[in-house]
Structure 1
Amino acid sequence: MTVLVTGAAGFIGYHTAQRMAQQGQQVIGIDNLNNYYSVELKGARLKQLCELPNFEFRRMDIVDKPALMALFDQYRFTEVIHLAAQAGVRYSLDNPDAYAQSNLVGFLNVLEACRFHQPAHFIYASSSSAYGANSELPYSVDNPVERPVSLYAATKRANELLASSYCHLYGLKASGLRFFTVYGPWGRPDMALFKFAQAILQGEPIDIYNNGQMARDFTYIDDIVEGIALLRCKPPVAEKEGEGVNKLFNIGRGQPIALLDFVECLEKALGVKAQYNFLPLQAGDVVSTWADVSALAQWTGFSPQVDVADGVSRFVRWYRDYYQILS
């Protein structure tokens, strides 16, 4: 069995590819190594992956359809875990073209490759952002999701709809995962925990939006990867033989944490008190997220294990080690 992991140099992609390779799967990882954030950090992740005997890396952009199709021709992937995307809610306000290319054109190219090569399971990354202006908590996959509040969210909802159409037309078996605020070692520098840690250690104030009246379903990376590992063994089942199916799941901790409580966990782990810069809610943001993970739990046995205090402490240990910051 050969598994394709797109976005393998990214945060979730790195951890997922590592887990698959360590489990004995033959993993091909692709990434375009763009400069949205530190290419050095992406390279450090890849260095770890390339030390694994079952992992092979190809630098490739999913927007390049001929190259992608040639890769599928070569390896005949049994499973595709599609995690490559242009991430970030706020950046989508500044550079919408990047989202149109990676999240729409690139996603369509991956679907086209799957159409012709029919992997046993196509798993792809969606986002809790798809819930947009929906105010019914906890978020359920049965909730309406027709009011995205950012371009990023709109592209992720579009991915779900594109996947549904391809499954219907071409018999694909797909699972879409709506990720909820993933954090942990090797995380993205543009995300809150990373930015907060950097600012606090440098004695700079941290920006707290909506005057701190925010909550997120913070989910530790190991729990996310465990969910993916469980799901890849259980593709959705169609009602009739030969039919395709696209099944959506929330993947999160299932427990919202107030932003200021999250920061308090970080202060304790760092041993440093933060300075706060309170600001209004930013365009494209939502006040609260909360995942109903019952569907994934029933389908796979998914059960998150890492609480926020422990997860933040693990991140801080990695952060100090990676940047060689003494306690």
Structure 2
Amino acid sequence: MSENTARLPATARIAQVLPPSAATADATPATPAFHAKRQPWWGIRSAIPTHRTAALVSLGLLLPLVAWAWLAVSGWVEPVFMPGPVQVLQRLRGWYADEGLAGDIGISTLRVVTGWALSAVIALPLGLAIGTFRSVQALLEPLTDFVRYMPAVAFIPLVMVWVGIDEGAKIAIIFIGTFFQMVLMVAEDVRRVPMAQIEAAQTMGASRGEVIRLVIVPAAKPALLDTLRITMGWAWTYLVVAELVAASSGLGFSILKAQRFLQTDKIFAGILLIGVIGLAIDQLLRWTHRRAFPYLHARR
């Protein structure tokens, strides 16, 4: 270590050992995504043109829709068991006009996002501690690993006793379904930070708090945002279970009520709506990831 480097404060010396992706992300020039040469169709992790991506995405979405429509009109399956896309759209229109679809979407989205956000607020610091300190890992990881295998639906009777049957109970079910998985994923993201970066910062005199704040957290941020995106999908999968608890509105409640009256077109509509809303949120989080960490996507 040179004399000039030794005189720098610990925070400045740590910045010198961080990779360009963490220290100078904005200064990293974006590499061209495509070249003039022909792009292969089956290259391993090779980039493909935008128009080809759009065509493949459209094909992947349209083929199942065409197969569904063909199966519905073929007469092989009774309409009560397999309604066609036109029937589902008609049901969706009636749901919106007469049965408060907008309110169902709003309350279900609020329940999912609230349960997921509460999980994130607690799981992020807890996962950071488990991934950083071996003593915390030994204390908490086995218990977390044990609880995460318990089905969230099994907690419904206890949640109703402890929390009641109002909105808190529904949010609690989504919280239970996502929290323990999120803790372990965050801890694993933190453990993937290269030990060489941590040791370099310690050699330069960084304190324990500075190592966590200036090395571990910045290096783990991209993976942490991906973890939040993935667990958001899990939160939506627990919506129907959560709305078993004395619900009178919501997409999950409407699906369950439609089951009692054998309204399969409404069941299809509710399932597809959940998929569309989840996909929109997923794409929003992907866009956030690209804006927050453009240097990662420029290299792909």
Shorter-normalised TM range: under 0.3
TM-score (norm 1): 0.21
Higher strand share: 1
TM-score (norm 2): 0.23
The structure having more radius of gyration, on CA atoms, is 2
